[in-house]
Amino acid sequence: MNKELEQLAKLNFLIVDDHSLFREGLRRILEDYNITNIMEASSGEEVLMMNLSPKPDVILMDLYMKELNGIETTLRLLKRYPALTIVILTVSDDDEIIAEALRAGAQGFLNKNMHSKEIIQALVQLLAGKIPLSKPISRALLNNLTAPEQNLERYNQPNSSMSKILKLSPREKEILRNLGLGKSNREIGQQLFISESTVKNHVRNIFKKLNVNNRTQAITTAIDLGLISLANGRE
């Protein structure tokens, strides 16, 4: 393990995340293992404007960012720099999102809730040529993966399921599921420990992102995206 850590310490890293506190925390984790060649970007737009010279050996890319999310940024970066190694960071463990990240050309997928040692172990796996994942991935899912070039056209379709689902933050997906269960804004707020007005703001954002006008349309879309199952009445 010591040899692998020495190799990691020689690599150049780029952290792309729109939360400064998370970037700072991840930087400290890397620095604790003597990884000091670290660059940062606060958005997909910023990293696309950067002159990546020398190119980073590993890019740690947040999935949910404003404007350009991590998968779209990955697609654009790899179109410009095909040899980049990109690992997606998120709080989601959804199989479809994992598959989409890998289709986009990402070479790993790590959960932000992982402990520091788990993150470093995953990077060691990456160094060894493996695909680090925060959960087991099924053979069926792997068999359905397509090349980044094939995925780009499919992803860019404005009405594609993945295009819609990636527009929603984890909190918005959680609220959408609760809408599908017939809960009021007040009930959702009580369950999630947020104010009713905050729920209303989220609901407005959900409508806008899904291009719908009311709850019924939003719930129908959620069913189409697989966020809600009517068969068992729960998510």
* pLDDT single digits (tens) 177-210: 888 777 888 889 999 999 989 999 999 988 888 8
Architecture of the 2-157 domain? 3-Layer(aba) Sandwich (3.40)
Q: What is the pLDDT of residue 131?
A: 74
- 167-224 shares the fold of 2-157: no
**Given pLDDT bands bounded at 50, 70 and 90, which one contains residue 111?**
confident
pLDDT > 60? residue 54: yes
pLDDT the model gives residue 51: 87
pLDDT (mean) for 83-106: 80
* Number of continuous H segments (helices) and E segments (strands) in the chain: 13, 5
In the predicted model, what is the mean pLDDT of the chain?
80
CA distance 122 to 135: 11
How far apart (Å, rounded) are the C-alpha atoms in residues 22 and 6? 24
- Which helix (DSSP H) or strand (DSSP E) does residue 13 occupy? strand 13-16
Give 160 or 82, the one with higher predicted confidence.
82
pTM check: above 0.85: no
Contacts of 133 (CB under 8 A, 6+ apart): 98, 108, 109, 110
Contact status, residue 164 vs residue 207, Cβ threshold 8 Å: no
Q: Would you call 39 helix, strand, or coil by DSSP? A: strand
- Prior bond to 158 cis, omega within 30? no
- Which pLDDT score, from 0 to 100, does residue 147 have? 44
Structure confidence at residue 231 (pLDDT): 45
Spatial separation of the C-alpha atoms in residues 235 and 229, rounded to whole Å = 6
Residue range 217-228: mean pLDDT, rounded: 72
DSSP 8-state class, residue 51 = -
Level-2 CATH architecture, domain 167-224: Orthogonal Bundle (1.10)
Residue 90: pLDDT above 90?
Answer: no
Boundaries of every domain in the chain = 2-157, 167-224
